[in-house]
């Protein structure tokens, strides 16, 4: 419209050019408006989703603090479901479940009088939390903090294929526990009690780790480690 060609156009040509220009302006304005609306909708969706996740997280925490064990188990399952739907909550959920285990599992450093009253197997709620906490799934996040079970009494725990890489197990009791297939690479086993525990297919174990353990009496170990003299002596040591 501002070029020299404008003057050479007849009336119908000018009308058509003006119409096309107006249509182009309308289309550009519509596109900008749609972009703004889409951005606002996405932001609203994120805020709404964050609010829903927060609400679900709060309800799961309420279940975990219930007086009824079956409700607490439901809280563990709810926390796990939240992480499946919102992987960015994995670190927070792991911290909560680890604290839950530490609260409900007995202390391994019990006196001789109390030791007779310690359970032969963890409660169902503790086992369920341990399962969720040590499961190897990508939605927990690749940089999750190590599991902290140090000083806990977990006799008879079922931890097959548990992800315990770098875990803090110092002073814990795993007497008669099932740790087949568990990943114990880099785990702190200082003073850990593995009496009659099954680690026959455990992964990532090193001789140096086992030599720091508190007890290996009757423990089943991978063949590559069980045959080493110093470890074999400890496994076969008398009660």
pLDDT of residue 42: 65
| Whole-structure pTM value | 0.74
pLDDT of residue 143: 55
Q: Which CA distances in Å does 9 have to 22, 79, 218?
A: 18, 72, 101
pLDDT of residue 140: 58
Is the Cα torsion angle 76, 102, 184, 178 positive or negative in sign?
Answer: negative
Which domains are present in the chain? Answer: 11-107 (no CATH), 146-239 (2.160.20.80)
pLDDT of residue 7: 66
Question: Measured between alpha carbons, how far is 174 from 153 in angstroms, rounded to an integer?
Answer: 7
Q: Residue 161, CB half-sphere, CA atoms under 13 Å: how many?
A: 5
pLDDT of residue 62: 93
pLDDT tens, residue order, the chain (239 aa): 556 676 666 777 777 777 788 888 888 888 887 887 777 666 665 556 667 878 999 999 999 999 999 999 999 999 988 888 888 888 888 999 999 999 999 998 875 457 677 888 999 999 999 999 998 765 555 556 789 999 999 999 999 999 999 999 999 999 999 999 999 999 999 999 999 999 999 999 999 999 999 999 999 999 989 889 999 999 986 55
């Amino acid at each position: 419209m501002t070029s020299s060609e404008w003057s050479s156009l007849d009336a119908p040509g000018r009308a058509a050019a003006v119409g096309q220009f107006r249509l182009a302006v309308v289309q550009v304005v519509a596109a900008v408006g749609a972009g703004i609306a889409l951005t606002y909708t996405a932001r609203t969706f994120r805020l709404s989703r964050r609010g829903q996740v927060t609400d679900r997280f709060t309800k799961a925490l309420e279940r975990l603090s219930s007086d009824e064990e079956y409700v607490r188990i439901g809280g563990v399952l709810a926390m796990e479901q939240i992480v499946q739907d919102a992987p960015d909550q994995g670190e927070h959920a792991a911290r909560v479940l680890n604290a839950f285990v530490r609260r409900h599992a007995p202390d391994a450093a019990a006196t001789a009088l109390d030791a007779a009253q310690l359970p032969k197997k963890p409660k169902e709620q503790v086992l369920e939390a341990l399962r969720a906490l040590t499961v190897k799934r990508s939605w927990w996040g690749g940089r999750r903090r190590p599991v902290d079970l140090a000083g806990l009494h977990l006799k008879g725990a079922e931890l097959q294929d548990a992800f315990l890489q770098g875990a803090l197990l110092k002073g814990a009791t795993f007497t008669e526990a099932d740790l087949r297939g568990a990943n114990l690479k880099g785990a702190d086993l200082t003073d850990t009690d593995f009496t009659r525990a099954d680690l026959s297919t455990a992964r990532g174990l090193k001789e140096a780790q086992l030599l720091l353990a508190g007890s290996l009496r009757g423990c089943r170990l991978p063949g590559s480690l069980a045959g080493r003299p110093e470890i074999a002596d400890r496994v076969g040591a008398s009660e």
